[in-house]
Each structure stands twice: as structure tokens, then as C-alpha cells.
Structure 1
Amino acid sequence: MSLCCWLILVAFIPMTLGTNPGVKVKLTEKGLEYGRQLGMALIQKKLKTIKVPDISGEESVSPIGKVTYSLSNMQIEDVGLPKSALDLVSKTGVRLSIGNAYISLRGNWRVRYLHIIKDSGSFDLNVNGLTISTSIAIKSDETGRPAVSTANCAATVGSVSIKFHGGASWLYNLFKNFIDKALQNALQKQICSLVPDAVSDLNPTLKTLNVVAQVDQYAEIEYSMVSSPTVSNSSIDLSLKGEFYNIGKHEEPPFSPAAFSLPPQINNMLYIGMSTFTANSAAFVYNRAGALSLYITDDMIPQSSPIRLNTRTFGTFIPQIAKRFPGLMMKLLVKTVKTPFITFNPNNTTVQATGTVTAYAIQPNTTLSPLFVLNLETSVSAQVFISGMRLAGAVTLNKMDLTLGTSYVGEFKVTSLNNILQMVLKVVVIPKLNVQLAKGYPLPTIGKMKLVDTQLQVLKDYMMIGTDVQFSG
């Protein structure tokens, strides 16, 4: 992994201009510094692969006349990059600069002069004061994933110091100057061909981006750009779609994301803002998929509970049930009738859900006889947390209101069922829901990415994740 790992965050791909994002990402200077540290190892490794071509030529050297020379079999021994910087250029992009670098190499030399005299040996070469400067461009490839490349590159070799071994020492000084110049030119060309290669080597890793990430059998979430990155002197800010869809069917919900902004932050490398639009698009998808429904039978009620799902228990509150359907087990169907609505307020996440509870008596031949339909209004509070590379949650019941929708057994007081329905929600429905919520949904990732020292805040209309990041492998 390298500094360019961070550039994934600058190119989350296909752009749909003019749409507010559901998710915002802020990459800080601290994050770029971590990327720079990782990147230097990659650049250093790449520079060690420099293949300096054999150099040969002919020069007139006083007083012996023409000297034919060649330098061959040049191999890099060491590369040092003691000083480097990765800078944000407002409204432009990212600039990488390396200074005071050095390269050491070894090779063989051979000369011929006066047409018949030959000499040869080996040499050590030290290149000092090497500077490299390049601008990094980010674009979308043909698959809709990010690709990085160098927009320009400049390399300057400060000085070249060569030490010859073997042969006549008086001869070295005669052709040392023009060999120094030839080596200097050759190295400058090689360096500025390898730096783009080092940046491009990241592209296979960028192709691992989960631009569309599957959540479960019902849903996937899309992380694509809705506008170009905003580059300031202190951060790179990204606007991502952050929208849930049914798998295989991308249907837009009847609501749109509202604008929101992440506040300035400097403590962590990365900040991710998730708006209520993202959460509500999930609710829309699961409701459309019919996933927000649950059949409840007596075996799902704890054995210790005195309340059972049978006509005897319900007959205590609604006598006509016991009279018309004596000694039968019952089944409840709890389902939403419209998309739940999620709100974010400081330190508070609330879900409002409207649904129905339909009660059935189970006949001996397994036929279901409807008893009544209740309208159900519930409010739950959610706790949201990070689990690995996923955003997960758990809910608790705040309140519940019941009204009678349809009765097939005559009139009765709905309030008499409050305790039963509250128990069913608390011990069956909500635990089942929390099992699913604990699985979470994936955050945008590349490669072997790990979140470190993560904090989550719920704010007005969005939640914000502040985190450091580590890459391995």
C-alpha cells in the first residue's frame, strides 16, 4: 500500500452532477501524512529497480586525442529518500515532492585511445541532491473505478561523484567530467519514467474499491461521486451518493438528500458523514423488499412468560375469541405499511414506524382464521456503532400506540392488548431486528483497510465517523 491508497478517497467514480450527496468524506492533512509515510517505501523500492542503460561515446581529450568510452552493467546499490512532502494544492490536486535524495550504484568502465590502447575497470557512483516533483491526477477508468496517474514530473540530479577502480589513474580525470554529465542525464530520464510507474502500480489496488457493496440478500449500497472533489489547503472533501438500492433494481425513493456540511476537523485522518438520506434510503429499500415483516408464533415467546399466543390468553381480554375459537394456537403478523422514517438529532437517533398487527387463529388443518387487525405506531431509539468495517446498530422501544383497524370477532377495547403487544415487540420483534442490525452495512473500503481509534457522533441530520486508518499487506 502507498500514499496513493488515500487517493481512492478522491475518486469514488461515476459522477452525477447536481445532486446532493448522502455521504461526505473528509481526508485531513494527518491522513495525507500517513499516506506519505507509506508511499516513500513504495517509491524507494521502485527507484531501486532503475535500469541505467549502457552509456558509450567518443570525446576529444587533450593531449591524447579521441577517447572512446563505455559504461556498462550499472546496478543500483542503495536509494535514500530522507526528505519528502505530500501537499494539497487548493482547487488543483496533490503534489508530491522529494528532496535531498541519493542513489548509489556500481558498474564497469572501458576506454580505448590512440586506436590501440585499451583500459578497463569498475566504478562506484554516488548521486546526491536528487529532487523529484510530480503532480498526481485522479480520474475514473472504464469500469467506473478510480485510476491515478502523474500529470507531470520533474527530476533534478544535484551532483554526481564517481570513483574508478582499476586501470591507469591518470586516465580517470581526463574523461570524468563528460561521463558525469552523461550519467546525470541518463538518471534524470530514468527517474521520471519510474515515478509514474510507481503511482500507476496502485491502480490494481484501487480496483478493489467496493463502489457497489452488497449488504445482504435484499440490499446493496452505492458509493459513487456526485461531484468533483473539493481540494483546500487543509483537506480533500468528497461528495458520495451513499444510497441503498434493492439488489438488481435501482429504484429512486420519493425523497432526495438535503445539503449538509462536515465541520472542520483535524484530530483524525479521515471523517465520514452519513446523512439521514442514507439511512432512510435503507428503510425504503427494505420496506419495498417486504423484509420488514415477521410472523410470530408461540414457540418464539420465552417459556417463562405467562402470556401465550393462544385463544385462551387472548380470550381473557377478548372473550368472543375464546368462545368462537376455543383451544387454538395463534399466529401474529407484524409488518410495516409504509417506509419507516429515521431522524438524527444530537446524540439521538429515532425511528418512527407505522405498521399493522394481524392476529390469526390456527385451525387444526393449519388454516389461518383472521381475528383482528391493529394499527401500530411505534417509536424506537437507535444506538449506532462501528463493527470492523461496517456500521451497525441496535434499537430499543420508546413508545407504542395501538388502534383498531378491523375486527372479525366484534368490538373490543384495544388498550386491553397493550401489555401483550409490548411484550411481543420487546422479546421477539426487536431482538430479531437487532440481530440483523448488528450485522451492519459496509463502509467504503479498499484492500486490507482497518479503522483505528474510531469515534462516532450523531449530529443534526447526519452522523459523523472520525477515524484513523491502517493498511496492511
Structure 2
Amino acid sequence: MSLCCWLILVAFVPMTSGTNPGVKVKLTEKGLEYGRQLGMASIQKKLKTIKVPDISGTQKVSPIGKVEYKLSNMQIVNVGLPKSAVALVPGTGVRLSIGNAYISLHGNWRVKYLRIIKDSGSFDLNVNGLTISTSIAIKSDETGRPAVSSVNCAATVGSASIKFHGGASWLYNLFKSFIDKALRNALQKQICPLVADAVSDMNPHLKTLNVVAQVDKYAEIEYSMVSSPTVSKTSIDLGLKGEFYNIGKHQEPPFSPVAFSLPPQINNMLYIGMSAFCADTAAFVYNTAGALSLYITDDMIPQSSPIRLNTRTFGTFIPQIAKRFPGLMMKLLVKTVKTPIITFEPNNATVQATATVTAYAIQPNTTLTPLFVLNSDASVSAKLFVSGMRLAGAVTLNKMDLTLNTTYVGEFQVRSLDNVLQMVLKVVVIPRLNVQLSKGYPLPTIGKMKLVNTQLQVLKDYMLIGTDVQFTG
């Protein structure tokens, strides 16, 4: 991994500009500093692979005359990058600079002079005062994923010292300045291409970016960018689409994202703001897919409960049911009739759902006879939390209001069923919903990315995740 891991956060495929994002991401200077630490290890490893070609030539050395020389089998022994920095360039991108670097190498030499005299030995070269500066460009590839490259790279070798071992090394001392220059030039030509390689080596990792992340059999979420990233002095800010879709069918919802802004933050490496729009598109997708409906039968009710789904229990509240359908089991169908609405207020996330509750009597031949249909307006509170690389949640019932929609057994007091149906919601519907919510929804990620020191706040119209990040493997 290298510094470029962080550039996934600014390299999603650009979408239509002018659209408000459903998700916002802020990469802070603390996050960029962590990326620098990763990047130095990668670049140092890459520079150790420098291949210096053999160097040969002739030089006139007084009083001997023409001397033929060759330097061969040159290998990098050590690379040091003691000083480096990354900086945000407002409106542009990221600038990486390395100073006071050094490279040590070892090789062999041989000479021929006076036409017949040959000599050989080894040498050590130390290059000091090496400086490297490069910018990192981000674009999208043909698959709609990010690709990074090094641009405007410059490398300068400050000074070099060479020491020869064996043979008539005094010869080299007479013209080593010429060899020093040749070696410095050879090294200098290698450095920027290798830095570029270190950056390009991140592209296979960037291809793991979940621009479209599958949630389950019903839904996927898209994390493409809606506009170019904004680079300031303290952070890189970007807007992602953050929209749920039915798998294989990208139908836009009948509502649009509302603009929101992340407050200035510096404590964590990364901040992710997910708006109510993002959550509302999830509700739209599941409602469209017909996933927000549930048949409830008596075997779902805890055995310890005195209330059973049969005509005897319901006949206590609606006598005509027990008279007309004695001794039958019942089934309830709870089904949303419109997309639930999610609201974010400070420290409070609520879901407002409108549904129908249809009661059936199960005949001996298993056919269903409708008894009544109720309208239900329910409000639940949601607790949100981060689990691994997913956003998860759990809900509890706040209140439920029932009204009569249709009756097939004559008029009755709907209020008499409040306690029964609230119990059904609390012990059957909500636990099943929480099982699904606990599985969570994928956050934008790349490779083996891990969130640490994560905190979640619910604010006005969005939730804010503040986190540090680790890359492993």
C-alpha cells in the first residue's frame, strides 16, 4: 500500500455535475499524513530496485594517456528517505516531496591502459542530498474506477562520493569526478520512473473500489462522484452519489438530495456524512421490491404469550369473528403502502412508516378468508452504528396509530386491538427487521481497509462518521 490508497477518496468516476451528493467524504491532514507514512515504505522499496546499467568509456589521464574503464554489476545496498512531506495544493491536488535522501551502491570496476595493462577491483558509491518532488494526478479508467499517475516529477542528486578497492585504484582517483557524474546521471534518470511505478502500482488496488456495492438480493448502493473533489488547505472534500438502487434496475426515486455541509473536523483521518436522502433511497428500493411486507402466523408468536393468532383471541375483541369463524387459526399480512420516510435530527433518527394490516382466517382447506384491513401509521427510533466496514442499525417502536380501512365482519372498535397489534410488532416484526439491519450496508472501501476509533453522530439531515483508517496486507 502507499499514499495512493488515500486517493480512492478523490477518484470516483465523475457523474453529472450540479447534483447534490447523498454522501460526503472529508479526508483531513491527519489522514494524508498516514498516507505519507505508507507511501514512503512503498517508494523506498521501489527505489531499492534501481538497475544501474554498466558504464564504460575512455579518459585521458596524464601522464599515462588513454585509459579504458568499465563499471559493472552495480547493486543498490541501501536507500534512506529520512525526510518527506505531503501537502494539499488548494484547487489542484496532492504534492509529495522527499529531501535529504541517500542511496548507497556497490559494484565492480576494471581498466585497461598502455594497451596491455589490465586491472580490476570493486567500489562503493554514496549519493547524498537526493531530493524528489512529484504531483499525483487522478483520473477514471475505462471501467469507471480510479487510476493514479505521477506527474511533474523532478529528482536531483546533490553529491556523490566514490571509493575504490583493489588494484591500481589511484588511477580512478585521477578521474573519478567524471565517473561520479556518469553515475549520478544514471541514478537520476532512474528515480522518477520508479516513483511513477510506485504510484502506478496502486492501480490494481484501486480497481477493488466498490463504486457499486451489492447489499443483498434486493439492493445495491452507488458511490460514484457527482462532481470533482474540492481541495482546500486542510482537507480534500468530495461528494458521492450515495444512492440505493434495485439490482439490475437503476430507477431514480421521486425525490432529490438536499444540500448539506460537513462541519470542520480535524480529530480523525476521515469523515463520512450520509444524508437522509441516502437512507430514503434505501427505503424506496426495498418498498419498490416488495420487501417491506411480512406474513405473520401463530408460530412466530412466543409460546409464553397469552395472545394467539386465532379467532378465539381476536373474538374477545371482535365477537363476530369468533361466531362466524370458530376454532380457526389466523394470519396477518403487514405491508407498507408507501415508502417510509427517514428523518435525521440531532441525536435522533426516526422512521415513519404507513402500512396496512390485513387479518385472515385460515380455513381447514388452507384458503384465506379476509376479516378486516387496518391502516397503521407507525414511528420507530433507529440506533445507528458502524460494524466493520458496514453501517448497521436497530429500531424500537415509538408509537402506532390504527384506523379501520375495510371490515368483512361488521363494525368494531379498532382501539381494542391496539395492544394486540403493538405486541405483534414488538415481538415479531421489529426483531425480524433488526436482524436485517444488523447485517449492515457497505461503506465505500478499497482492498483490506479497516476502520478504527470510529464514532457516529446523528445531526440535522445527516449522520456523521468520524474514523481513522488502517490498511493491512
Cα deviations across residues 18-48 of structure 1 (Å, max 9, x unaligned)? Answer: 2110000000000011111111111111000
> Per the alignment, in what secondary structure is the counterpart of residue 385 of structure 1?
strand
Query: 1:209 and 1:100 mapped to 2: Cα distance?
Result: 35
Please tell me the residue identity of whatever aligns with 1:468: D
Query: 1:444 and 1:232 mapped to 2: Cα distance?
Result: 22
Query: 2:282 and 2:154 mapped to 1: Cα distance?
Result: 48
Structure 2 residue 220 is the aligned partner of structure 1 residue 220: yes
Q: What is the number of equivalent residue pairs in this alignment? A: 473
Deviation (angstroms), 1:66? 2.0
What's 1:271 paired with? Answer: 271
What's 2:152 paired with? Answer: 152
Mapping of residues 42-53 of structure 1, within 5 Å? 42-53=42-53
Mapping of residues 404-423 of structure 1, within 5 Å? 404-423=404-423
Please tell me the residue identity of whatever aligns with 1:302: P
Q: Is the 8 A contact 2:75 2:107 kept in 1?
A: yes
Q: Is the 8 A contact 2:450 2:469 kept in 1?
A: yes
What's 2:6 paired with? Answer: 6
Cα deviations across residues 250-275 of structure 1 (Å, max 9, x unaligned)? Answer: 00000010111111100000000000
Moved more, 14-23 or 365-374: 14-23
Cα deviations across residues 360-405 of structure 1 (Å, max 9, x unaligned)? Answer: 0000000000000000000110000011110000001111000000
Query: 2:126 and 2:444 mapped to 1: Cα distance?
Result: 44
Query: 1:90 and 1:14 mapped to 2: Cα distance?
Result: 19
Query: 1:374 and 1:94 mapped to 2: Cα distance?
Result: 59
Please tell me the residue identity of whatever aligns with 1:354: T
Deviation (angstroms), 1:172? 1.9
> Per the alignment, in what secondary structure is the counterpart of residue 438 of structure 2?
helix
> Per the alignment, in what secondary structure is the counterpart of residue 285 of structure 2?
helix
> Per the alignment, in what secondary structure is the counterpart of residue 228 of structure 1?
coil
> Per the alignment, in what secondary structure is the counterpart of residue 464 of structure 1?
strand
> Per the alignment, in what secondary structure is the counterpart of residue 457 of structure 2?
strand
Question: Structure 2 stretches of 5 or more lacking a match?
Answer: none
Mapping of residues 129-278 of structure 1, within 5 Å? 129-278=129-278
Please tell me the residue identity of whatever aligns with 2:228: S
Deviation (angstroms), 1:4? 1.1
Deviation (angstroms), 1:63? 2.6
What's 1:376 paired with? Answer: 376
Deviation (angstroms), 1:13? 1.6
Structure 2 residue 17 is the aligned partner of structure 1 residue 17: yes
Mapping of residues 39-438 of structure 1, within 5 Å? 39-438=39-438
Query: 2:21 and 2:450 mapped to 1: Cα distance?
Result: 24
Deviation (angstroms), 1:2? 1.3
Query: 2:412 and 2:204 mapped to 1: Cα distance?
Result: 66
Deviation (angstroms), 1:437? 0.4
Deviation (angstroms), 1:115? 2.4
Deviation (angstroms), 1:116? 2.4
> Per the alignment, in what secondary structure is the counterpart of residue 255 of structure 2?
coil
Please tell me the residue identity of whatever aligns with 1:88: L
Query: 1:190 and 1:59 mapped to 2: Cα distance?
Result: 25
> Per the alignment, in what secondary structure is the counterpart of residue 49 of structure 1?
coil
Deviation (angstroms), 1:114? 2.5
Moved more, 339-348 or 112-121: 112-121
What's 2:445 paired with? Answer: 445
Query: 2:230 and 2:67 mapped to 1: Cα distance?
Result: 58
Q: Is the 8 A contact 2:14 2:227 kept in 1?
A: no
Query: 1:251 and 1:238 mapped to 2: Cα distance?
Result: 24
Q: Is the 8 A contact 2:14 2:228 kept in 1?
A: no
Deviation (angstroms), 1:241? 0.4
Query: 1:418 and 1:427 mapped to 2: Cα distance?
Result: 14
Please tell me the residue identity of whatever aligns with 2:37: Q
TM-score (norm 1): 0.99
> Per the alignment, in what secondary structure is the counterpart of residue 323 of structure 2?
helix
What's 1:37 paired with? Answer: 37
Query: 2:438 and 2:393 mapped to 1: Cα distance?
Result: 6
Cα deviations across residues 407-432 of structure 1 (Å, max 9, x unaligned)? Answer: 00011111111111110111111111
Deviation (angstroms), 1:16? 2.1
Please tell me the residue identity of whatever aligns with 1:26: K
Q: Is the 8 A contact 2:333 2:359 kept in 1?
A: yes
Please tell me the residue identity of whatever aligns with 2:272: I
Sequence identity percentage: 88
> Per the alignment, in what secondary structure is the counterpart of residue 16 of structure 1?
coil
> Per the alignment, in what secondary structure is the counterpart of residue 386 of structure 1?
strand
